């Protein structure tokens, strides 16, 4: 299978390039080939590629900066994602589009189901929801895969931040009233490849959720990072108001991943095993 991946250096795109299984030839298109700030460039790149399936691993993910750059975030996450989906539909190429728990308002205490009403809290969530709506409107074969709390050995993420501050301080304050599940980028990449193959073979698409297991809090995640890395820093549980940010974060990012397992046999990965792999790659264990 020829798999076109839009994105090269992000956490997911990096893992897609690294983990492509035998029989899957990945062509990665970076900003120089398809700048998602320029929908016309995305259209031209999509119109000329040769592929059996596409994974969109491009996203504007600066959640706080999006509050002052919503127009740009919406072009990258919304308009250009829609253009890619339109060209894919016109050419009959199935698309896997990665989205986020931020399309929900974070209320309640049960995991969010794919069919639950969306109501983003901020600009980033609104931009990602715009992308979802544009992908569906394009009418082609697609899977929208919502995920959360992504981490890897690459780029900026919570694991790397905690390793840095945990080495500098005896105690680190971490939010303990936001719930969700860390998700290794490597497992998201594997899920995207499996979904792309399934779509290319004629499977039904739709919107599904994928996150690690078990559910925890950011403070609980930090405790595991320190414990498994050997850092002696203590985690001080704090509340969301004690760590103010420009963008509001969902209090409940739990995702119900049942439909993904039922439709494609893809199970939730144990994020603790993924964390061990990342720490080993970073050479901190």
Annotated catalytic residues are 124
Question: Which alpha helices (DSSP H) does 107-157 contain, by range?
Answer: 123-138
Q: How far is CA 260 from the centre of its chain?
A: 15
Two tokens, residue 187: 């497992």
CA neighbor of 57 nearest in space, from 79, 83, 36: 36
| Cβ neighbours, 10 Å, residue 182 | 27
Instruction: State how far the Cα of 272 lies from the Cα of 121, in Å rounded to an integer.
Output: 29
Two tokens, residue 194: 């499996």
3-state secondary structure of 147: strand
Instruction: State how far the Cα of 263 lies from the Cα of 194, in Å rounded to an integer.
Output: 12
Two tokens, residue 81: 């994602």
Eight-class DSSP state of 249? P
| Cβ neighbours, 10 Å, residue 47 | 11
Two tokens, residue 101: 């728990």
Instruction: State how far the Cα of 247 lies from the Cα of 162, in Å rounded to an integer.
Output: 20
């Amino acid at each position: 299978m020829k798999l076109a991946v839009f994105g090269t250096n992000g956490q997911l795109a990096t893992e897609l390039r690294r983990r492509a299984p035998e029989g899957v030839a990945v062509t990665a298109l970076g900003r120089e080939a398809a700048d998602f700030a320029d929908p016309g460039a995305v259209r031209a790149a999509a119109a000329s590629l040769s592929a059996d399936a596409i994974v969109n691993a491009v996203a504007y993910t600066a959640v706080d900066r999006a509050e002052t750059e919503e127009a740009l975030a919406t072009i990258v996450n919304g308009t250009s994602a829609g253009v890619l989906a339109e060209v894919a539909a016109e050419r009959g190429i199935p698309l896997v589009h990665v989205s986020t728990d931020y399309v929900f308002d974070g209320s309640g205490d049960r995991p969010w189901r794919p069919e639950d009403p969306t109501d983003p809290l901020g600009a980033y969530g609104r931009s990602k929801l715009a992308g979802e709506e544009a992908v569906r409107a394009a009418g082609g074969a697609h899977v929208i895969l919502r995920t959360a709390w992504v981490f890897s050995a690459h780029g900026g993420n919570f694991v790397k931040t905690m390793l840095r501050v945990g080495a500098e301080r005896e105690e680190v304050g971490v939010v303990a009233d936001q719930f969700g599940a860390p998700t290794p980028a490597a497992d998201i990449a594997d899920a995207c490849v499996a979904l792309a193959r399934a779509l290319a073979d004629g499977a039904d698409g739709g919107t599904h959720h994928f996150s690690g297991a078990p559910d925890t809090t950011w403070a609980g995640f930090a405790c595991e990072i320190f414990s498994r890395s050997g850092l002696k820093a203590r985690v001080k549980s704090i509340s969301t108001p004690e760590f103010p940010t420009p963008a509001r974060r969902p209090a409940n990012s739990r995702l119900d991943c049942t439909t993904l397992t039922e439709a494609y046999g893809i199970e939730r990965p144990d994020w603790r095993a993924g964390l061990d792999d990342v720490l080993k790659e970073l050479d901190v264990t």
